[in-house]
Chain A
């Protein structure tokens, strides 16, 4: 029974591992932290797996657990990441002012997203994953209206970061 459960879990995680990798990409800055977070999410998923009864899609459930883990861990090391990136973004905007090729713009966007708070980041992440508001609200455990309002605020925040 145990072996079977293990096998089912690992297979499903192997097939859906992109979700976890993407969360890690967004919430960490280097390879080591990426791997650590992946490991932590895997453990949390495995712990919660016996309670997963298939009432949601496996992937939706994964989004929820992965984001929760990332947010909880991220809270512990919040300051370190934020302040550092902020200066470099301002610097970047100044030097790149006349160069608005797509690539540069994307880089700035990614940097801006990295600067967002934990929950905001989760929202943007689900948006980038092309989830509709119904799924976003289900994953984050908020109402659909709330998700919309929050998303609008995040857009404003991004605007402020990009055009200080």
Chain B
């Protein structure tokens, strides 16, 4: 075995001339690539997320639910909201893509640090937008169900019969707020998990760059 290994060693060392040779510039570019792959993932995840939610939306857009929305008199406002939602999300995806492109061609640590901060800002805005649009949708739905929905009418009627209408509305608002808050926290956690890990890595990278800067 030792002979064979010696033979291998000789051959191995002769192979040196056939190894690839990278130029200074090629290597130089490589040291900036880490952030670019994280930002690329942010872009991809936002795309997947978009397709996922759009898919769910389409599945639940059957004529029956459309009819229900119309019956609750919130069809129009929901459609407008949907339209705004998609427009803004597409804008965000475009921004994620631009960030990714920007970071891929960055060649100085200063610019890279700035782009990382931009990415963080965009993601934060994106999450906030999603939370707000969700809250608005939920409030409109609750409103629709109680004012125009068949079940809502029944509940209101029985509550009025028992007398304390103010108390009833107070309770409704309180429960709605609680319900919305819980859902919001869940969604926020979801985003925290989805983008939080990537952002944390970016942050680490940023800190490393900052250390080198001094």
Contacts and interface: CB of A to CB of B under 8 A. Distances in A.
A158 B31 contact: no
Interface residues of A, number: 38
Chain B binding surface SS class: helix
A10 B109 contact: no
Interface string A56-71: 0000000000000000
Interface string A1-42: 110011001110110011001100100000000100011001
Contacts of A22: 12, 16, 19
B28 to A, nearest CB: 5
Contacts, number: 81
A5 B27 contact: no
Size class of the B contact interface (CB-based, 8 Å): 20 to 34
A127 interface: yes
Chain A binding surface SS class: helix
A128 B28 contact: no
Contacts of B5: 109, 124, 127-128, 155, 158
Contact of A10 (B24, B33, B213): B24
Interface string B117-132: 0000000000000000
A2 B113 CA distance: 13
A13 B27 contact: yes
A128 B8 contact: yes
Given A102-B7, A105-B4, A46 B31 contact: yes
B20 interface: yes
Contacts of A53: none
A150 interface: no
Contacts of A124: 5
A94 B20 CA distance: 33
4 closest A-B pairs by CB: A128-B12, A21-B19, A46-B31, A42-B30
The residue among B1, B2, B33 with the most chain A CB atoms within 10 A of its own CB is: B1
Contact of A50 (B11, B22, B212): B212
Interface string A129-141: 1100000000000
A128 B9 contact: yes
A152 to B, nearest CB: 10
Given A14-B22, A102-B7, A162-B4, 13 more contacts: A2-B212, A10-B28, A10-B31, A11-B24, A17-B21, A17-B27, A42-B30, A43-B31, A43-B34, A106-B11, A109-B8, A158-B1, A158-B5
Nearest to A42: B30
Contact of B20 (A21, A46, A128, A158): A21
A5 B9 contact: no
B76 interface: no
Given A43-B30, A46-B31, A50-B211, A109 B4 contact: yes
A92 interface: no
Contact of A109 (B7, B21, B30): B7
